[in-house]
Copies of this chain bind each other. A is one copy, B any other.
Amino acid sequence: MQRVTMMDVAKLAQVSPSTVSLYLRKPAAVSAAAGQEIARAISTLGYVPNLVAGGLAAASSKVVSIIVPSIRNAFFAETVSTLQSELAAEGLQVLLGHSEYGEDQEEALVRTALSWAPAAVVLTGLSHSAETRKLLQASGVPVVEMWELGGKPIDMAVGFSHPHVGASAARHLLSKGRRAIVFLGARMQEDHRAEKRASGFAETARMGDVLSYEIINHPGAATVEAGSLLLTRALERIPNLDGIACSNDLIALGVLFECQRRGITVPDDIAVVGFGDLDFSASCIPSLTTIRPSGDLIGREVARLILNSIQGERPEGSARIIDTGHVLIERRST
């Protein structure tokens, strides 16, 4: 497949292969004359470096392995997208894997990832199998865990506290005078981060001046449909329900639709706060009060950490943990 090699370029440019290699990695280290010759040879031959060979020789490839639960989730799609762009700008490729919220699957992905001698590995969350941690630690590869803070990371971490998010949602509902509140989540048996938002919510509710608070889980994925179902369940259990926090804006949208169907007025009858600030959240009816985690920012910070680790000194101490925080955006639904 690979026709032209560095050797061919070297011959045409009348230099040694190592000079070509050097030119490719540090153009400034080569004399202007040689550089010109090499550049010409590269373009006339249409030379494309073989990164596989380079990776083998350098014992580390220009690949960053990213493992997310699911790319269908808009949160992770946003982060992966940003990350990919930032890394591509530095000549790094993204190897993508989906754990589907399974630690065993994640472990298998990490194993294959490591067999690529990646420049870095990015994982989602702080919960991993013991073996996963061991593998990564032993590998010496820079590791960034993203989208969660609050535990001891394997190496570096970029994210925010999910309990804090849940607490913010609860506090916001309380500040609006809501006293019978509920947290609607999906797939929380697997999605530990959603589950932590729920706990933060419950914690704050418990300390607050409420008549009742509850957490309801939908075992399936976080979809609009799930939101409808969850609202139905919630109304059955809490007739005087007046405040809802959702673990995801899709669920919140489903809640809004279901309220509309039932003639429940948002926010007069029930206030709704979501999580994610997705595409539709500002434009739906009523516009959705939500908590923005900024998947974009997470992507940028992860990229920064990785680039620092590779081309320079690895971050130390507190520089290895970056809190991207969260912002509650108040709109019409509360």
Contacts and interface: CB of A to CB of B under 8 A. Distances in A.
A116 B77 CA distance: 24
B97 A94 contact: yes
Contacts of A283: 224-225, 227-228, 254, 257
A51 B1 contact: no
Contact of A50 (B48, B77, B97, B115): B115
A149 B164 CA distance: 48
A238 interface: no
Interface in A63-107: 63, 70-72, 74, 77-78, 80-81, 84-85, 88, 91, 93-98, 100
Contacts of A280: 224, 250, 253-254, 280
A260 interface: yes
Given A51-B116, A94-B95, A78 B88 contact: no
Contacts of A70: 81
B59 A56 contact: no
A282 interface: yes
Residue among A88, A91, A225 with the highest chain B CB neighbour number at 10 A: A88
Given A48-B111, A84-B96, A140 B250 contact: no
Contacts of A253: 280
B225 A250 contact: no
A261 interface: yes
A253 B84 CA distance: 29
A223 interface: yes
A117 interface: yes
A53 interface: yes
A141 B77 contact: no
A139 B1 contact: yes
A77 B84 contact: no
Given A98-B84, A115-B50, A261 B279 contact: no
Interface residues of A, number: 62
A311 interface: no
A112 interface: yes
Given A52-B56, A56-B52, A257-B285, A81 B71 contact: yes
Contact of A52 (B52, B81, B84, B98): B52
Given A52-B52, A52-B61, 6 more contacts: A51-B116, A52-B116, A56-B56, A72-B77, A74-B74, A80-B96
A91 B112 CA distance: 9
Contacts of A88: 97-98, 109
Contact of A84 (B71, B74, B111, B141): B71
Contacts of A55: 52
Contacts of A282: 225
Nearest to A108: B88
A71 B61 contact: no
A53 B56 contact: yes
A47 to B, nearest CB: 10
A49 interface: yes
A279 B223 contact: yes
A284 interface: yes
A78 B84 contact: no
A21 interface: no
